[in-house]
Amino acid sequence: MQKEHQIIMSVYQAKEDLQKADDLIRDYIPFIKSEASKCISRFCSEQDDEFSIAMIAFHEAILGYEHDRGAFLPYAAMLIRNRIIDFQRKETRHQGNVSLNEEIKDSDQTLLDQIADKRNYIQESTNLEATKQEIEELSAVMADFGVTFSDVADNSPKQERTLEACAVAINYAIENKHLLDTLLKTKKLPLAQLVKGSGIERKTLERHRKYILVMLLIQTNGYEIIRGHLRHALKTKGGTSV
């Protein structure tokens, strides 16, 4: 029970922190391989398409997990199984060996339904690698500003009201590009201008300075994948999108 509680805590942290999500996926690669191997009835290597699909499904499980779904690992295993089955059926369909109206095992969908599914699983694997590259690039930029992902995690707003207040300041800076230019030039958050322009109290911005700084850095260099993850996380928490 205690171990499951720790897993759930890690999952909820990974929902909001890309580095922790990446670490969690790495920690559970043996589990991911094991579940993928069960689906294909042989050892699944990292070179197999099914392994990439299983990793993507595990990340999907992180983003989609809620307490009412039960234990996390069985939920992740179910998603891995379903996604690999979908992929295998899709591959078989391309070979012309199965009816489009045949129902997929453990699913109410038919292959005809799957045609409407816009997911390209191999492309998603590429996207996962692109996400890692963005994180590495952002980490290097953050280092120039003396900030780490751990700092951001520790400095992130914990209350809904504070999160929304920070989002107001962040959105103000995004709408006033000269503030982003000032940030990049001075490597300091333009607090006085943010306070005056956004109307948010200085002490609130100072308390979450590192969090706000990184949120603004993400807006400066085309980190589209990371911004997408942030929008999902903020939506999940009920906060204002940035």
Place 116 in a pLDDT band, splitting at 50, 70 and 90. very low
Nearest to 91 by CA among 120, 64, 118, 70: 120
Segment 119-142 shows an average pLDDT of 68
Residue 197 lies inside a defined structural domain of this protein: yes
Place 185 in a pLDDT band, splitting at 50, 70 and 90. very high
Taking a C-beta distance cutoff of 8 angstroms, is the pair 233, 167 a contact? no
Are 191 and 89 part of one and the same domain? no
Nearest to 27 by CA among 65, 68, 73: 73
Segment 121-148 shows an average pLDDT of 74
Q: What is the pLDDT of residues 53-63, one digit of tens each?
A: 888 889 889 98
| Tally of residues, the chain | 242
Segment 29-33 shows an average pLDDT of 93
Are 110 and 136 part of one and the same domain? no
Are 157 and 106 part of one and the same domain? no
Are 151 and 181 part of one and the same domain? yes
Cα–Cα distances in Å, from 234 out to 127, 217, 227, 240? 21, 17, 10, 6
Residue 126 lies inside a defined structural domain of this protein: no
Domain count along the chain: 2
Residue 142 lies inside a defined structural domain of this protein: yes
CB within 8 Å of 19: residues ≥ 6 apart:
135, 139, 149
Place 99 in a pLDDT band, splitting at 50, 70 and 90. very low
Place 127 in a pLDDT band, splitting at 50, 70 and 90. low
Of the two residues 93 and 242, the one the predictor is more confident about is 93
Are 11 and 51 part of one and the same domain? yes
Place 231 in a pLDDT band, splitting at 50, 70 and 90. low
- Report the share of the chain in percent with pLDDT over 90: 31
Taking a C-beta distance cutoff of 8 angstroms, is the pair 103, 33 a contact? no
Q: In the predicted model, is pLDDT for residue 120 greater than 70?
A: no
Strand-pairing partners, residue 103, are 110
Place 73 in a pLDDT band, splitting at 50, 70 and 90. very high
Residue 242 lies inside a defined structural domain of this protein: no
Are 111 and 42 part of one and the same domain? yes
What pLDDT shows up at residue 106?
Answer: 52
Q: DSSP 3-state helix, strand, coil percentages of the chain (rounded to 5)?
A: 75, 0, 25
Three-state secondary structure call for residue 145: coil
Q: In the predicted model, is pLDDT for residue 191 greater than 80?
A: yes
Residue 159 lies inside a defined structural domain of this protein: yes
- What is d(CA 155, CA 182) in angstroms, rounded to the nearest whole number? 22
Segment 162-190 shows an average pLDDT of 92
Cα–Cα distances in Å, from 108 out to 87, 101, 105? 16, 11, 8
Nearest to 61 by CA among 28, 30, 34, 88: 28
Q: What is the pLDDT of residues 101-112, one digit of tens each?
A: 445 455 555 444
Residue 48 lies inside a defined structural domain of this protein: yes
Strand-pairing partners, residue 91, are none
For the chain, report the end-to-end CA distance as a whole number of angstroms.
37
Tokens of 48: 């197999």
What rounded mean pLDDT belongs to the chain?
Answer: 79
Place 203 in a pLDDT band, splitting at 50, 70 and 90. very high
Place 122 in a pLDDT band, splitting at 50, 70 and 90. very low
What pLDDT shows up at residue 102?
Answer: 47
Are 113 and 146 part of one and the same domain? no
What global pTM score does this model have?
0.48
Residue 189 lies inside a defined structural domain of this protein: yes
Q: Which range of residues forms the domain containing residue 144?
A: 132-237
